[in-house]
Amino acid sequence: MTGRELLEKWGLPDLTGNGRFVSANVMDSLGNGLVLAFTVLYFTTTTSLPLGSIGAALSLGQLLALPTPVVAGALIDRFGSRTVVIGANLMSAVGFCAFLAADAVWKIVAVQFVVQAGSSIYWTSSRSLVLLAARRRDHARWFGFISALRNIGGGFGAAVASLAIAWGSEWVRALVLANALSFVVAACLLAGWRPTAPTPAPGAAPAPGAARPAGGGGYGAVLRDLRYLRLVVANLAYVLAASVLPVLLALYITEVLGAPAWLVGACMVGNMVLVALVQTLVARMIERRRPARVLALAGVVNAAAFALFGLVLAVPGWLVAGGMLLAMAVFTVAEMLSMPSSSELSASLAPDHIRGRYLGVFQLSWSLGNALAPAVLTTLLGHGPAWPWMVLGAVNLLAVPLVLSLGDSALGKPAPADAAVEDGVPRRQPLTDTADHR
């Protein structure tokens, strides 16, 4: 079996010419896994501040960074996504280095703001980078592959971080420095990456610095695009669903079900392993399907998973572990369907000349959803153990008609001959049916 046939069998994209891009994603996800999941524990280990003050400072820093995607969108349209991602990685490196000097509440607020801003800018920009790396018809494979890759890197980073924490505070500080270095390496890899792209038709590509295409620009254009806003609103349901893992799972298993803590680890590891091993195969299965229909299916599967999570309340104790693992498997299937599809739609439904601003608004749904999820999910749990699952299931089902109303995206269709230039690299122009934008 040739290398190309092996890639095809496992649903992997053609990686030719994109080694630096792939390596940069590995380094970035490794860095996120190393520290982000252990931020609270880092400051409780290395400072004498009370836990309540640390938590409040981290929350305030994150809230201050909420508008960052709006700024990032304008920067992407002006400087190109690759340049902005490089800046975001360097910002994250500076923020994590500053962790070492954060020994007061205001300093924790400041470093948390810098780190969260860097992360938000990265996620706003990274979807455009996938389009630069992808060939004409393997966008789903690329988004699936990057999702699996980041899952592996983040999981490995979290495992290394847990060992460092067990060894003591000096190892934790060394971990932060290693984390900062990983972002610098990622930035250098992206700076040296020259993405391959179709050659533009003679005379079709505008020269660098030429006037942007007609059709309006700025955030006003995004706010008038009701089709895209429906995607942003619908994505909030998927963001709340994704928040189950970091916010609700451990609390539900240990406090509500009274199950042992090992079950939490089994569910989390099972999710990571499934995504790492199966995500690219799922991407291969859905690559010829319309992304909107796949995302709608993910909403239905999410609702089924939340129904199973709730039903575990009614099973005998000896069935709790099996019920939770089954629910987690269904939840992971929904995750593997939704992540590539939502990323693909967020990029494909945006006009090329202001795609950065569109992606900035889309990223706001993630920032807002992640900020609201802890309060929303814990409040629902306080009203009763079944309430989070009923509300999450209903919200995901309500998202289905919104997603289906998006219709067909332009990704998966033959790429037009025209091309634009980003970061000096020709790219397709534009990946959307402009007649559908209202």
Phi, psi of 53 (to 5 degrees): -65, -40
Give the pLDDT of the chain (438 residues) as one tens digit per residue. Answer: 555 655 566 667 777 778 888 888 878 777 666 665 567 777 877 888 887 888 888 888 888 998 999 999 999 999 988 999 999 999 999 999 999 899 899 999 999 899 989 988 988 888 888 877 776 567 777 777 777 777 776 666 666 666 666 666 677 788 788 888 989 999 999 999 887 654 333 333 333 333 344 345 688 999 999 999 999 999 999 999 998 988 888 889 988 999 988 898 888 888 888 888 888 888 888 877 889 999 999 999 999 999 999 999 999 988 999 999 999 999 999 999 998 899 889 988 988 889 899 999 999 999 888 888 888 998 999 899 999 999 999 999 999 999 999 976 544 443 333 334 444 443 433 333 333 333
**What does pTM read for this prediction?**
0.78
Q: What is the pLDDT of residue 8?
A: 63
Give the pLDDT of residue 357: 93
In the chain, the N- to C-terminal Cα span, in Å, equals: 48
